[in-house]
Structures are given as C-alpha cells and as structure tokens.
Structure 1
Amino acid sequence: MLKTLDQSLAVLNKFTREHPSWGVRELASEMEMSHSIVYRILATYHKHGFLEQDKETRKYGLGLRFIEFGAMAGDRLGLAERIRPIMKRLSEATGESVFLTWLDGREGVCLDIYESSQLLKYALAVGSRTPLYAGASNKIIMAYLTQGEQERIIAEGLKAGKPPKSFPGKDKLLAGLQNIRQEGWAYSLGDYSDSVFGIAVPLFNRNSEVTASLTVAGPEYRMPQENVAHTLQLLRSARDEVQQVLQHLLFFA
C-alpha cells in the first residue's frame, strides 16, 4: 500500500512548470515504470479531479482541484489577510517587488509575490521552485542549514541539472553561505536574470529553525550600493512584522 502511495506521489511530482503535461507512455518511460501502473495512477487522479486529460493529445495536466487546495493552503498561512499587506507596504516603500520564499525539502518555493508597480520590474510565478544555492531568497535559507545539509543540496542539485547561470563552485559557495549567516542577510545579482538584484532576510519558526525568507528584488540600475543599507533596513522592519504573524500560526512550529 505504501509503495503504491509513493509511486502515485512520484507521478504527481513529475508535473512541473517545465513539464506541465504528460502522456501515459511518455511518463512511464520517464519514470521507468510499467505502462499499466502509470495509466491506473493517472486515471485515478483524473477520476477525482486532480488531473485533466486533453481530448486531442490525450495528455494529462493538473486539474482544478489543485486551485482549491492552493487557496486553502494560502488561507492557512494567513497570506492574504495578514502577510500580503506587509509585503505591499514594503513594495511601495522600496518601489520593488517583494516575495516570500518557503523551504520545501531541498528547494525554495515562491509562496507569494507583490509585484512592483513600475513598468520594469522583477516578476516570479507563485509556486515556482528554485535550487537553494542560487539567488538571495534561497541562499539566505541555505545559509542557516547545517553544512551537511548544504553539501547534500549542492550535490543533489547539480546532479539534477539545475545550476544557476553562474555556479561559483562548492568551496566558494560554502564560504559565501558562512558569510551570509554571519551578516544575517543575502545579496545576489544576475543569478537567474541579467542585471536583477535580490536582497533577502531569513524567517524562523519557534524552534529557531529557518523556514522561509522575505526578499526585495528588481533591476540593478534602481539599486545602487548607496541605497542597499536603507532598503535592508526597510526589509528587516517588514521581516519583523511577518515573523510575528508566522509565530502565531500553529503549523509554523
């Protein structure tokens, strides 16, 4: 029974932004699983509304049930009512986009974003997953993990073929993470998009374990070095507000 559940969840995890739809044989080949097993799993998800099937291509994609679950997860986190207004104020004060990144396994997930009102801005899709060793929003989280966890993330991430645009190498990255932890904040430039900066601070649960991060990001030309300190001050103030909200959520233990 547990093996079947593991297989079913593994199948579901194959539906990503990079590969949002799958045919039965295509997915069976990708996962090196029996065609009949994959078909039964997909058909069961389809029956319960978790997957939809294109009538022409016969490929499966995520169904509307996930919109419901996403909305419920957002309500549980208190994003819309309690955290998003804080992100909005920070965005208006800095003129840049603000986003909340959550630690999920060995990746960072964009849980919410409040985009800058300016024409040229940084935008990120909610639900996007990125490796923890790239970008300020992820590096600040990774910096507070143990060195053993950091090394496993680097090894498995590179093996999975998800490096950022410029990976500095293991030793340099680990040294950088140590420095980030000492400073308590992270800065990145061009890890994913040329001339895009990110300034991030960590968020902790009641056990003082890093769980998320809050980030300000935008085009490099709007963030000269002399403006970084003031932006960081605004970011830390907003972080303290978000931290208070999260500390009162029962799941954030």
Structure 2
Amino acid sequence: MTLKTLDGALALLTYFTVRQPTWGVRELAKHSGVHHAVVHRVLATFAANGFLLQDAASGKYSLGLRLFELGQVVRKTFSPAEVVQPVLEKLAAQSGETVFLSWLDGHEGLCVGMVQSQHQLRFSIELGQRFALHAGAHAKAILAFQDDAFRARVLENARQRGEAAASVAGLALPLWSRDQAEVVGSLAIAGPQQRLNEESVPRMLEALREASRRLEEVVGFGR
C-alpha cells in the first residue's frame, strides 16, 4: 500500500463522526467523491481488521472496537480522566453551566471532555463533536492565537455563517502547548445569555482561570 493510498483510506475513516456514525458504500462514495469500488475495498479492509463493523442487515459500516481500544489509549495519554473529569465537574458545579474541553484538530475543534449543566435550558454539545472555529467563545479562544494564514482559511470556509446560537453566551480560555509556542485547545463555559450576565461573569471567569491552571498542570498545556 502506497502512502497516497493509505492517506486516502484514512481520509474515508474521518467521515465517521458523532453526527454521521454509519455509512453505506455508495452513500460514502457519493459524499466523498471516491469511486464506490475503492470505498468498498477500503471499508472491507478496515472491517477485516476490526476498525469497522458491518451491519449484516443494512450492509452499512460503523466504527469498530479496535478504534474504541485505541481511543482508550489516547484518552489515558492525552488527558488522564481521573484528574481532568473532576476539574470539569467542579467548574460545572461552580458555574452552573455546561463546561467543555476542546482540542484543535486540523482546521476544526474537537470536544474531548464535557459536563452538562443541570438546568433544563442549557447549551448542548456532544462529546466527540467537531465544530468550526469561527463561531463561539470556545472556538475563538483557539482561532485568535493561530497565524494569519490559518485564520484566513477558517474564515473563508465559514462562508458568512453566524454564531452557533444567538441566545448562547460563553466564556473561554486558550490552552497552550508544552513548549508554550502555540494554542492547541480551549476550556469553556457556555449557557443562556440571561444567566451569563454582568453579575455572574466575574465569578465564572475566576473559576475558569483556576480550572485552566489545574488542567495545564495535568495535561501538560503549561504557559
């Protein structure tokens, strides 16, 4: 297998997301622009090695247990759950709002940790969900510290789209790489505008700063 072939195969794997967890061969071929025969071979190979599962009835593919296994390795090496999750839970309790940790992946953000608000009216994001970097405090905290070419590409892809939700407000802080050279993620609080107001923001911001410092110590973001 050439590097070009491997690159194309891995690109097909990235189409499996939280919002679109299953694909049929022809469906994925049409969406990706790759010939259906190639898609069939790639998906069948991934399935044979445990990276995908094929439903016997529908013929559609979904992510397999081998990826789940590798995901647990990433989770342990990237963000120790026994420390990160309690930090997120404490921040959610202090703020009363949804809290989430995001990671920069390519030209998008990826939600890698979260705790939902207990309020009935709350900001909703799913663990493992990708998001564009042009809208929302959690995204802009990452985008603001990228170079000009990176920002230009993100904003070009945005195509005049607005914020994620007009009634949602957010607070976010950037998280830095170990060598302090670049911002690679963000920690954010989000909720309805009526609850994130002038009275509550200073208190939430202080809690956010403390949680960010704690995460930097554990995850290795450090300034």
Q: Deviations over 1:105-163 (max 9, x none)?
A: 100100000122333333321110001111100101000011221001212343xxxx6
In structure 1, the partner of 2:106 is 105
Tell me the TM-score normalised to structure 2 length: 0.90
The structural deviation recorded for 1:194 is 4.1
| d(CA) in 1 for partners of 2:202, 2:44 | 54
Q: Deviations over 1:161-213 (max 9, x none)?
A: xx64x2xxxxxxxxxxxxxxxxxxxxxxxx22342221100110122210110
1:202 correspondence with 2:184: no
Q: Aligned to 2:194, what secondary structure does the other structure show?
A: helix
Amino acid at match of 1:23: G
The sequence identity of aligned pairs, in percent, is: 39
Amino acid at match of 1:210: V
In structure 2, the partner of 1:43 is 44
Amino acid at match of 2:15: K
| d(CA) in 2 for partners of 1:195, 1:62 | 34
Q: Deviations over 1:209-234 (max 9, x none)?
A: 10110001122222222221221111
In structure 1, the partner of 2:185 is 212
| d(CA) in 2 for partners of 1:224, 1:140 | 19
* Structure 1, unpaired ranges of 5+: 167-190
In structure 2, the partner of 1:244 is 217
Matches within 5 A, 1:17-96: 17-96=18-97
| d(CA) in 2 for partners of 1:36, 1:148 | 36
In structure 1, the partner of 2:156 is 155
* Worse-superposed segment, 23-32 or 104-113: 23-32
Contact 1:49 1:64 in 2 (8 A): yes
In structure 1, the partner of 2:204 is 231
Q: Aligned to 1:225, what secondary structure does the other structure show?
A: coil
| d(CA) in 1 for partners of 2:29, 2:121 | 42
Contact 2:102 2:110 in 1 (8 A): yes
Contact 2:19 2:129 in 1 (8 A): no
Q: Aligned to 2:188, what secondary structure does the other structure show?
A: strand
Q: Deviations over 1:68-87 (max 9, x none)?
A: 22222111123311211111
Contact 2:171 2:189 in 1 (8 A): yes
The structural deviation recorded for 1:56 is 2.1
Q: Aligned to 1:112, what secondary structure does the other structure show?
A: strand
Matches within 5 A, 1:126-205: 126-158=127-159, 164=161, 166=162, 191-205=163-177
Alignment root-mean-square deviation, CA: 2.0
| d(CA) in 2 for partners of 1:90, 1:32 | 43
Would you say how many aligned residue pairs link Structure 1 and Structure 2? 221
* Structure 2, unpaired ranges of 5+: none
